[in-house]
Amino acid sequence: MNEKEQAILAELKEIRSNEMRAPQTIADRNKVVSLIKKAQVVLYPGYFHYKNLSVDEAYEQLLQEVKEEIWAALCFSRQSPLKAGELADAFIERLPKIMRKLDTDIQAIYDGDPAAKTKAEVLLCYPGFYAICIHRIAHELYDLGVPYIPRIMSEYAHEKTGIDINPGATIGEYFCIDHGTGIVIGETAVLGHHVKLYQGVTIGAKSFENDENGNPVKGGKRHPNLGNHVVVYANATILGGDTFIGDHSVIGGNVWLVKSVPANSTVYYNG
């Protein structure tokens, strides 16, 4: 390198050392992705494959590696890593619960899409199910208070499918995503059972309020609740933590909704 190039590199190192320097211990994105894939092998062997691992091999590696990544994430977030083993065990114990919920999602997608010829097709081909599968895994880690790892998982699903579900979102059984591209579901959203979303739907937050220093106020309930048996059609936007969509309601395509609607409502865009 010439002197100019060396000076630029030195400046970059100085800037990085001030705040965002690489830590010695941090959850590894590639290893977190491998956790997803090994969990999928365990949950649906034969449908998901990873490095020719058998179910038993995937399970054994998952047992060990989820503890290691939780340990690293706790260290990076300045929490005690001593509870990593306890959190890892709690996650593993929730795998049957995750699989039972995913089975209901497969059924909902199969029932909700005439193009789905078999449930195997849903498992093998549908990006909506792939995103839901990762969300179910990530949400349990989020619920246990594990930092960073759930969000890495959800962003991997976002990257692969174009479906952005925050791991904090609470989603009931028999969840159906049809097509899916462009769906956004925020952290504090709560969706009931038998909810169906089409492409481009946003379950989001209104603009942030600012504190006395002009900084955005974070936390709190920011995203809507959807009741049971709710259908939201393509490109609808539903915003606000105090917005509730009642049971058995239908929200039409391109609707912009920032207020609650009662059960059995039909809301549509009237141009």
The three-point CA angle 104-187-229 to 5° equals 35
Query: Can you give the pLDDT at residue 210?
Result: 75
Query: Can you give the pLDDT at residue 18?
Result: 57
Whole-number Å distance between alpha carbons of 109 and 76: 38
The three-point CA angle 217-218-223 to 5° equals 115
The topology under which CATH files domain 22-162 is serine acetyltransferase, domain 1 (1.10.3130)
**pLDDT confidence band for 26 (50 / 70 / 90):** confident
Q: Say which amino acid occupies 260.
A: S
Can you say whether residue 34 is alpha, beta or left, with left for phi > 0 and alpha for psi between -120 and 50 degrees?
Answer: alpha
Query: Can you give the pLDDT at residue 25?
Result: 77
- In this predicted structure, the answer to whether residue 13 has a pLDDT above a threshold of 80 is no
188 within 8 A of 168, measured Cβ to Cβ:
yes
More confident residue, 14 or 225: 225
**pLDDT confidence band for 19 (50 / 70 / 90):** low
Domain spans of the chain, in order of start: 22-162, 182-271
Provide the percentage of residues in the chain whose pLDDT is more than 90. 84
Q: What is the mean pLDDT of residues 40-66?
A: 97
pLDDT tens per residue across span 241-268: 999 999 999 999 999 999 999 999 999 9
Spacing of C-alpha 48 from chain mean position: 19
Query: Can you give the pLDDT at residue 207?
Result: 80
- Copy the structure tokens of residue 187: 């952290």
Distances in Å between the Cα of 110 and the Cα atoms of 48, 121, 157, 160, 266 are: 18, 9, 21, 21, 24
At residue 254, the 3 state secondary structure works out as: coil
Query: Can you give the pLDDT at residue 133?
Result: 98
**pLDDT confidence band for 217 (50 / 70 / 90):** confident
pLDDT tens per residue across span 147-200: 999 999 999 999 999 999 999 999 999 999 999 999 999 999 999 999 999 999
The topology under which CATH files domain 182-271 is UDP N-Acetylglucosamine Acyltransferase; domain 1 (2.160.10)
Query: Can you give the pLDDT at residue 86?
Result: 97
pTM confidence score: 0.91
Of 56, 141, 59, 63, the closest CA to residue 98 belongs to: 141
- In this predicted structure, the answer to whether residue 20 has a pLDDT above a threshold of 60 is no
Q: By mean pLDDT, which of 121-125, 144-148, 179-183, 216-220 is the weakest?
A: 216-220
Provide the percentage of residues in the chain whose pLDDT is more than 70. 96
Buried b (16+ CB within 10 A) or exposed e, 181-213: eebbbbbbbbbbbbbbbbbbbbbbbeeeeeeee
Residue 175 CB-density burial (10 A; 0-12 exposed, 13-18 middle, 19+ buried): buried
- In this predicted structure, the answer to whether residue 124 has a pLDDT above a threshold of 80 is yes
Query: Can you give the pLDDT at residue 5?
Result: 87
- In this predicted structure, the answer to whether residue 213 has a pLDDT above a threshold of 90 is no
Cα-Cα-Cα-Cα dihedral sign, residues 54, 152, 89, 72:
positive
